[in-house]
């Protein structure tokens, strides 16, 4: 069995890319020729994925964009399509779940049995009790929120907890005693490169999912220098809206591919500096 982290390392090497393509479909922004289709969300995301796969180390569908549009079945179809057509590209379901006991077990079933994702994003606030049900799925991964890209996260994540910041405590726990399967990673925003560097120093080569470049304004060069590992990998640097909505016309997939390639190349150039 190939684990999530093995699949990710293989993809980093094969694609020579740290770009994660986020799939956050907003039908209001779709090209006009797609909007009337019953499967518009699937069609849009599948076209984006097919056009950008060669530049991507992972895909990250955001579950809220599907659920809000009653498109959960289209999400299932999309992930099935990704596994079938792009089997080497890991799929991280961005769900940010966080609960305990039997409820968490049901959420884990949703992510890994219904949707068949390779990994998921999770909240740490309820501790290991909320993480453990996901670790019961051999080889599957999870990224735990640590230092998020939004400024509102400062109110909690920068709290002093016994001489360290809360986000530092989360990083230490997730990279050590919580990581019982070796399949955990952390979410750390590109908008805070100093904190990103601090997390990297704390967790070694653990995978980091890094949102915040592109539409959110994170600096690619600063992100790469702060979060890279010694071998030039270790990150899934996510771009969603900048790739998805590079064009609102019938050439949307081609425009997405062009933006993804340029972003991949920008990340590569930063690694060479």
Q: Which residues are catalytic?
A: 96
Per the DSSP assignment, residues forming a β-bridge with 210 are 237
107 and 83 in contact (C-beta within 8 Å)?
Answer: no
Query: 90 φ, ψ to 5°?
Result: -65, 150
Distance, in Å, from the CA atom of 231 to the CA atom of 149, rounded to the nearest integer, reads 25
Beta strands in 58-215 (DSSP E): 58-61, 92-97, 119-122, 141-147, 184-188, 208-210
178 and 128 in contact (C-beta within 8 Å)?
Answer: yes
Question: Which token pair is 264?
Answer: 């991949």
Place of tokens 């051999």: 138
Tally helices (H) and strands (E) across the chain.
12, 8
């Amino acid at each position: 069995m190939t684990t999530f982290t093995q699949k990710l390392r293989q993809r980093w090497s094969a694609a020579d890319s740290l770009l994660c393509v986020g799939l956050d479909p907003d039908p209001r922004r779709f090209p006009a020729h797609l909007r009337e289709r019953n499967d518009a969300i699937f069609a849009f995301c599948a076209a984006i994925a097919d056009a950008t796969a060669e530049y991507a180390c992972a895909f990250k569908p955001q579950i809220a964009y599907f659920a809000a549009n009653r498109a959960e079945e289209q999400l299932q179809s999309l992930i099935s399509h990704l596994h079938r057509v792009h089997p080497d590209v890991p799929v991280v379901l961005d769900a940010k779940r966080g609960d305990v006991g039997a409820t968490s077990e049901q959420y884990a079933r949703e992510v890994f049995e219904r949707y068949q994702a390779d990994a998921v994003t999770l909240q740490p606030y309820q501790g290991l009790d909320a993480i453990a049900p996901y670790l019961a799925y051999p080889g599957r991964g999870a990224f735990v929120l640590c230092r998020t890209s939004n400024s509102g996260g400062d109110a909690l994540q920068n709290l002093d907890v016994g001489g360290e910041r809360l986000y530092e405590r989360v990083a230490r726990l997730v990279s050590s005693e919580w990581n019982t399967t070796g399949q955990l990673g952390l979410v750390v925003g590109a908008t805070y490169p100093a904190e990103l560097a601090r997390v990297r120093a704390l967790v070694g080569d653990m995978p980091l999912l890094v949102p915040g470049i592109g539409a959110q304004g994170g600096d690619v060069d600063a992100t790469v220098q702060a979060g890279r590992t010694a071998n030039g990998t270790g990150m899934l640097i996510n771009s969603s809206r900048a790739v998805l909505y590079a064009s609102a016309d019938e050439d949307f997939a081609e425009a997405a591919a062009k933006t993804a390639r340029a972003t991949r190349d920008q990340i590569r150039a930063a690694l060479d500096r």
